[in-house]
Amino acid sequence: MLMIKDHWLVAARRVPSTHFNERPEGESPRLLVVHYISLPPGEFGGPYIDQLFTGTLRAQAHPYFAQIAGLRVAAHCLIRREGEIVQYVPFDKRAWHAGQSSYQGIENCNDYSIGIELEGTDELPYTEQQYQALSAFTLSLIKAYALAEENITGHSDIAPGRKTDPGPSFNWDYYHSLIAAY
């Protein structure tokens, strides 16, 4: 399990974003949303995810970036292919990761969720390091915020038809077995 202090994961590399706001009064995290991202699409590593989530992505750096450079988005955290965790937004704040969304009939998932991006795509399997980091991290979130394990879902489940992540290559059974093993 990883330590969370003052709503920051102690072991994470911090890259603070301004793409968040306060949660509605009385709201606290009760949902974990798993996403994927790669920038440019299908490429891993590099500074571009950090730049997107901090509003510093240059449209000229890659042809694809022209359509996303002005977006104001950020997840709470990213788990890179080698298992490194990067945190952009403290967990008690409302990160802008889910967009138009609904979970169990409750709209605006950003209000009550924590968004975790995995560096990945629909097509490629995730790495063992990512599963290990995600499961340890999940246990920390469950303990710190009393999240129920059944309130872990994919972006595709809260925005069906609009999003596909974490995609068919994400092994939900394996992920849940790792959580149970701890």
User: Has 117 been annotated as catalytic?
Assistant: yes
Ramachandran class of 45: left when φ > 0, alpha when ψ lies in -120 to 50, beta otherwise:
left
Both tokens of 28, joined, read 């606290």
Residue 115, Cα to own-chain centre: how many angstroms? 4
Other Cβ atoms closer than 10 A to 53:
30
Beta-sheet pairing, 77-79 with 85-87: antiparallel
Q: Residue 169 is encoded by which pair of tokens?
A: 């290559």
Catalytic hit among 25, 27, 43, 117: 117
Strands, E, within 75-151: which ranges?
Answer: 77-79, 85-87, 93-95, 102-103, 106-107, 113-119
* Catalytic positions: 117
